[in-house]
Structure 1
């Protein structure tokens, strides 16, 4: 193990799920099954768990008929072991953040854990030993993993400090002083991204599909059902993934379906120096032809 890895206090391992309040639970279940390829598992009239692969669930939907649009209330990240979890709790407490219990439905799915609110009020649940299934869903067109959330925030500096200085995420790349990509211990180029904005919301959730062919089949389904494609066929300069984004505000934030996502080697993970890229659309999507081509994001 490198000196850097030995000395560094470790962060969360990787993203496991998002919790989303939706106005029509049945409609959102149908949307995620057809358009994202998730499999419905435990559910009743108040909630539903849907999974992508072996992990117990990737999305928890919560019935909120009082809403007209969805709202993401929490994200969950697994942690490698009890020692890291205890260290994270110590850092959260030392930084002056209140520690909460995990949501009741999550408590029975993990060994240990706790929750904390980020500077935007988003609940971050951290835990060990997230339950899993023996086999992935027997669905051909489905994601392999939930890779990251992308947060837009009017508290950019505070949010960046919370996730890096308190929780221990590592900086992978910056686009100006507007967007930062942060990685966790699963070594994806980013397991979290943050964008400077004039309000807070979870902008998108990224699901990695099995292949580019499956990305395009998902895109075709969105077109067939006339689901708005918010951003079409982006070739990401940072993560090297190719993706499109669809968005129906009733069912969650934008859902990104991507092919591939850069994974750092163990050495790169410890030694990578974050790039400071110019605020230019070509530094987000390498297929953009000019510096003023912002319109299609």
Structure 2
């Protein structure tokens, strides 16, 4: 009798453990997802995929450029989220709460990431070092009102209409295009200039789509973006025009011999995806998911490129 009771008790214990397992697994999955998304780690992975795309298009050998860019992106965007935690509480409360809760850890990780990125960039020479430092310098001008040397203050570039997005697009287009080139010690060609313009336009678009989600918060703190100035509907039309113009640029590059048709296909696949995402701007309630979807354009390009090269 006692043995039966013991077996029954053990059976209930095992059943309770098995019942708790899905809950524990779900909780761990959610924590991992939040850390990946809210810390900006996922942006680092996307940036590394972008560098691979650039290296394939420019026919460059493997270099540490992808790792350097990934670490730099993580550092810059983690610091940006730390700086904007208070204002993000309105437009993105989940992210703001995560950043506040892990402020010290994020600050340390971001500092280490940028330090390692700068150290690795030295392997590529002075030009690679300068390009790696560029996003950090631009971020200081973009996100803070501090003037070096004089200790004074000026209006943040983040608050200035169009200048804010142009600075972001320019900094990342330069980094993504020319850092792999610097590591490989390769020459600038017509294809290089095409890649630079392509990424400038893509980053511009992918910077403004999340601004639709942040329109109320940006308006409250005086930040001027396309959605704040022109409204959501006109912003959708403008971004669609940029997507179509970029597609025209890709076709022109193929016609001019700067890009092979097989490499144009992944870029056009990404632009088709982007047009689909842009069509939902202002029409889809989950604006946060829409912003994430826009950032995944480069993963579409990367996947299509892998298929194209394999074939």
Indicate the TM-score class for this superposition, using the shorter chain for normalisation.
0.3 to 0.5
Higher helix share: 2
Higher strand share: 1
* TM-score (norm. length: structure 2): 0.31
Task: Give the structure, 1 or 2, with the largest relative contact order (CA under 8 Å, sep 6 or more).
Answer: 1
Larger Rg: 2
* TM-score (norm. length: structure 1): 0.32
